[in-house]
Amino acid sequence: MTAGAVDADATTAGPRGRPELFQVRFHGRGGQGVVTAAELLSVAAFLQGRFAQAFPSFGSERAGAPVVAFCRISAGEIRTHAPVAEPDAVVVQDATLLHQVDLFNGLGPEGYLLVNTTHSFDEMGLGGLVDRLHEERLVTVPATDLALKHFGRPVPNVVLLGGLAALCGVVSLDSVVAAVHDRFTGAVADGNAAAATEAYRLVSAKAKTANEEVAARA
């Protein structure tokens, strides 16, 4: 994938003048495209002129086994090759991992959380998270349903990237769609792009509602 235009915000600096890092951790199961999700997010960021680094958690790959992958995004060169210990965002591709894997380890109070589920956080027994994190930064999206609807396969990875773009804006939906077309072709690419777009709209609407509720209470 070749770089497009460089973003205007590529000069964003973090504390002490070093470029700020945005770090995402993906949880899912073997076969759900967890590693591909991290890679495509890095390609989307690259297309916006950012530096990005994606890598899996290097386990023995087996269908159905818990899988973790990471993506770092920055305006500057990324030198570290350590795993992400304190993610800014966590994406959960498979909600059945909720009570098996420590999904929220290192996720700070400013963190974002996107879960693929048709249930609410209360229904999943995660009501406590609402107190620990910003309410408007916790979103669920029925990514598997959207995947089945748009391309007939229960693979939620790209769909959730659309949701993530809406939730935290670290990449644009256009870049996600471009990254999808870079990796896939034909109906798979079109279906994934359409599902990601629908997820983007759903999450944008949810985030807007949550923001308004927070504002109304304030």
Partner 1 sequence: MLSQLEGSRAVAAAVACCRPQVVCAYPITPQTHIVEGIGAMVKSRQLKHCRFINVESEFAAMSVAIGASATGARAYTATASQGLLFMIEAVYNAAGLGLPVVMTLANRAIGAPINIWNDHSDAMAVRDSGWVMLFAEDNQTAADLHVQAFRLAEEMSLPVMVCVDGYVLTHATERVDVPTQEQVDAFLPPYKPRQVLDPADPVSIGAMVGPEAFTEVRYLAHAKQLQALERIDEVAREFAEGFGRHSGGLVSTYRVEDAEVVVIALGSVLGTIKDATDELRDQGARVGVVGITSFRPFPLDALHEAIGDARKVVVVERAFSAGFGGVLSTDVGLAISDAKARLSTVVAGLGGRAVTEAGLISVVEDALADRLEVLRFLDLDKDVVDRELARMAGTRRSGPSAENVLRDLGTVASRAL
Q: Which residues bind partner 1 (CB under 8 A)?
A: 1-3, 16, 18, 38-39, 42-43, 46-47, 51-60, 65, 68, 78-83, 85
CB-nearer residue toward partner 1: 27 or 206: 27
Please tell me the distance from the alpha carbon of residue 119 to that of residue 145, in angstroms, as a whole number: 12
Minimum gap (Å) between residue 57 Cβ and partner 1: 6
Minimum gap (Å) between residue 6 Cβ and partner 1: 11
- Count Cβ atoms below 10 Å from residue 156 Cβ, excluding itself: 29
At residue 141, what are phi and psi to the nearest 5 degrees?
A: -145, 135
Residue type, 133: L
At residue 94, what are phi and psi to the nearest 5 degrees?
A: -140, 110
Minimum gap (Å) between residue 150 Cβ and partner 1: 25
Which residues share a beta bridge with 90? Answer: 25, 113
CB-nearer residue toward partner 1: 82 or 216: 82
Closest residue by Cα to residue 67 from 76, 56, 77: 56
CB-nearer residue toward partner 1: 189 or 210: 189
Minimum gap (Å) between residue 198 Cβ and partner 1: 26
CB-nearer residue toward partner 1: 62 or 201: 62
